[in-house]
Structure 1
């Protein structure tokens, strides 16, 4: 039973629920005019990430029509759904579907992060971090002074505990956001970064080489501003001396 709880991401979702409630409690300890706006922004980004399709791969015929006949990399067939996978796609066994430009399956969102919703996931992390930092500021401003240390701890104990939890989650979100921004800047996914040695179209490159990297500015521009399906086989063919 314990293994099933870990497999379904129960602990991760429980931690996220705890984080949400702690932030809410801290915010209500101190009344501010911007409280509702920040909560609405964070909630909106979370809903978008949860409901927006990550870029589910469709039929093999659709994929073949998108890739020109002169394309050198051959299509790979998924061993689970038996569809021909485009480059950078991966089958998610949790969602039971192939996802284009697969990054990872997020248990917080109960959804995959892929080509269509990855930018929204990064925006959600950014908004979540801003809310966390703002909650720390609000919580610190709510600490009251007392005559003795004993009275001070008694009067501020719950608030200090809440600030400690928010502080820990702030560090986690900072690290997660920093990792994703770095990967975006070099046009690499979490899956490619972690499993590079097992991915056929990357094994021929040195660790510092990436056939999809177009430079930091172009990578960031394409990621945040260009909303279209990319035929990665064409990008790979232009930059690879040894196509797979």
Structure 2
């Protein structure tokens, strides 16, 4: 009887908790929330212990406040970038479909107004409608299925483009994420620490977060090493705590720097982690030579698209033609280097 009362009390407490915090009712979201709390807590532990143990740093803060202010600014910006990245959309196909359909509805309304104004002989409305028609030319009669099929080579079956889980037409470079249960445009990977996928919509934010996190961890490691150099053997228990934290921090720095270099390489070649790792299993990459990057437009163009155009999370890329693949397979010559073909 006591066990039943305890279970009833626990169920009621959990029910009230899930009512006020719906995200806790989902095990996946609850696990993601726990990882986020853990990561933020580790940041505050590392910074707190540093200021608690290092008296020289506190003295330096009073003498040169700009140094500590820059460190705290980087600390704050890194956490803000973390939450911005984790809360951003990677670019879901269903959202792209919805935006495309809404755009078609707006275009249809403009065409109807243009037609009506032409019949009524309204000169001003006709001019405005013609201008709008030039802006939206080519998309007023298209459907999502036709738009997706035009991005694949002729003869591609529509069945090979439909996701078996979402039942939607997938544009090229799209993959279904089983953790998010949605198809993601230019899917890179699912980050458990962020609790979201990395795709076309937030890959740039993810790169900046890695860059800021790497700089913060490297700066913190330097401060830890400086403390150990000046205060070694003063208090053994403090030294033990600092050494254990420093070892874990150095491992994190190495991992973050390698991750930053890896994603920088992906950005400059316009690839994703999924395309690089599963290249032989992806149908549209099977016939492409190993060292050929089919979606690359040159380093400068890739960086521009990643930093500027990448914020438009619904920009779709068609598959390159056989002629374009052959052109990119051609080895570089001295003339290509002088004309900046690689850029």
From 107, 121, 139, the equivalent of 2:224 is 139
Specify which of 38, 55, 79 is matched with residue 43 of structure 1: 79
Q: Give 1:201's aligned residue.
A: 284
| Residue ranges of structure 2 left out of the alignment (5+ in a row) | 1-26, 59-67, 102-143, 327-343
Shift of 1:164: 1.4
Alpha-carbon distance in 2 for matches of 1:9, 1:193: 26
Shift of 1:153: 4.1
Structure number with greater CO (CA < 8 Å, separation at least 6) is 1
Match of 1:120 in 2: 205
> Is residue 26–residue 138 contact of structure 1 (8 Å, CA) maintained in 2?
no
Given the two structures, how large is their TM-score scaled by the length of structure 2?
0.60
Take 2:176 and 2:243, find their aligned partners in 1: how far apart are those partners? 44
CA–CA distance in structure 2, aligned partners of residues 192 and 33 of structure 1: 41
Q: Which residue does the alignment assign to 1:110?
A: 195
Between structures 1 and 2, the one with greater helix share: 2
Would the aligned equivalents of 1:19 and 1:166 in 2 still touch at CA under 8 Å?
A: no
Distance 1:225 1:182 in 2: 18
CA 1:80–1:51 in 2, change beyond 3 Å: closer, same or farther? same
Normalization by structure 1: what TM-score?
0.82
Aligned CA RMSD, in angstroms, stands at 2.9
Query: What is the CA distance between 1:196 and its match in structure 2?
Result: 0.5
Q: CA deviation at 1:22?
A: 4.3
Q: Distance in 2 between matches of 1:155 and 1:53?
A: 43
Q: Larger deviation: 208-217 or 186-195?
A: 208-217
Work out the number of aligned pairs and report it: 233
Mean alpha-carbon deviation: is it higher for 164-173 or for 51-60? Answer: 51-60
Alignment gaps of 5+ in structure 1: none
Shift of 1:13: 6.2
Secondary structure at 2:69's aligned position in 1? coil
